[in-house]
Every structure is written in structure tokens, then in C-alpha cells.
Chain A
Amino acid sequence: GDSVTQMEGPVTLSEEAFLTINCTYTATGYPSLFWYVQYPGEGLQLLLKATKADDKGSNKGFEATYRKETTSFHLEKGSVQVSDSAVYFCARSSTGNQFYFGTGTSLTVIP
């Protein structure tokens, strides 16, 4: 929804290139922040999360740092692989019960 804005895709990179997918959020309070990944034909899988300011989430070479001052949670990877081709979703928790998701960024990595 409007609460999470992420970089529009599609993004196409060569193998071993550096990846950044931008994500910013609007929220009252201090939400938890997440990156989910969706591989073709599969459901959303949690990639990483951060629960408070300055936390860094990391997994499978991906990293994202919770920046309260810029309300951002940008996803980065130093060297992408073909197997990283997927759709990436930034999300935040709410004071209610739901997660708010961005619109997703499609990544294609070519050999």
C-alpha cells in the first residue's frame, strides 16, 4: 500500500553485479521491517528482517539496514547470481494486525 514505496522494476543485472533495491516507508511508531522474496511459482519467503533502528538484517548475502532518520530499508547484495532472479517485496508491520507491502521489484540476473 501507500505505506511502503519501493523501487520500480524490472531490474536486469549481469551475474556478479552489485544490487540495490530501494525501499522507504511511512509509519507512526517503530515498525518492524522485512524483505520477502517470491521465486516463480512459489509463495513469499522471508529473506531478512530488522526490528529496530540501526538493526541490520542479513541472509544469503543480502543485507538491509533499518534507517529511522531516512525511513528506509534498502536491500543490497554485493554479487548477484542467476539464482537470485525473483520478485522482491519490502514490507513493514503495523500497529494493527497486517503487514503493508510494496509493489515488488522484479530482478533478472543474466549469466
Chain B
Amino acid sequence: GAGVSQSPRYKVAKRGQDVALRCDPISGHVSLFWYQQALGQGPEFLTYFQNEAQLDKSGLPSDRFFAERPEGSVSTLKIQRTQQEDSAVYLCASSWQRVAKNIQYFGAGTRLSVL
């Protein structure tokens, strides 16, 4: 596609439910990033993939968060046993270069609301 695509755009989950958020990066982009954006804040880094390898997961807030990119293209961010504090917009970005200095292209995000 022409840009980074994320689905669903909105997700409402009951506390304790598992959710899966999908990201389709720009075709051919090597690098993929997940960010979490709380209301009124800037995006905060969660994790980074280079092709299928997850090279940095230092930003994942707990072991309930898990991300994968098995074929080096589509990525899924999974949150287990969701809590209210997980409510945020989850942004995916991709870049065709391996180093983060290059431009990251962002999707529209998935807004997660945990009730």
C-alpha cells in the first residue's frame, strides 16, 4: 500500500481481555517500530524490528506486551490481560533504512480503550 496501515482503528476491551493490533508497513521497509501515545503526550517507544528480528524491546512496559513480525513484513502487537492503564493510541512506524536517523513513516494508529 501507499502508507503504513493499522487495524483496527478503534478497539474497546474489557479489563483482562487479550487484544491484538496489526500493522502493515510500507512495502519494502526494513525497520518497523511500535510506539504508545497516551492522551496529551508524545509517542513513547515500545519496540523495534529489523526485518523479522526484534532487536530492541526495551520500551515494552510489562511482560503482558508482546510483539512479532514473523515474515519481516506485517507486525502484530499483542497485549494480554489488558489493564486500564493500557488505554492509549498505539502507533506503528516503518522506515526503509536500518538506522533510526532516517525518516519514520507513521500509521494512523489504533486507539485502545480498556474498560
Contacts and interface: CB of A to CB of B under 8 A. Distances in A.
Interface of A: 1, 4, 31-32, 34, 36, 41-46, 49, 51, 89, 91, 93-94, 96-104
Given A43-B4, A103-B41, A97 B103 contact: no
Contact size range, B: 20 to 34
Contact of B45 (A42, A49, A98): A98
B100 A46 contact: no
B98 to A, nearest CB: 9
Given A51-B101, A96-B56, A101 B109 contact: no
B61 to A, nearest CB: 14
A51 B102 CA distance: 9
Contacts of B91: 43-44
Interface of B: 4, 6, 31, 33, 40-45, 48, 55-56, 59, 91, 93, 100-109
Contacts of B93: 44
- Chain A interface SS verdict (over half): loop
A104 B42 contact: yes
Candidate in B44, B45, B91, B109 with the most chain A CB atoms within 10 angstroms: B45
Nearest to A36: B106
A9 to B, nearest CB: 10
A50 B106 CA distance: 18
Given A49-B103, A98-B59, 5 more contacts: A1-B42, A89-B42, A89-B43, A97-B48, A104-B40
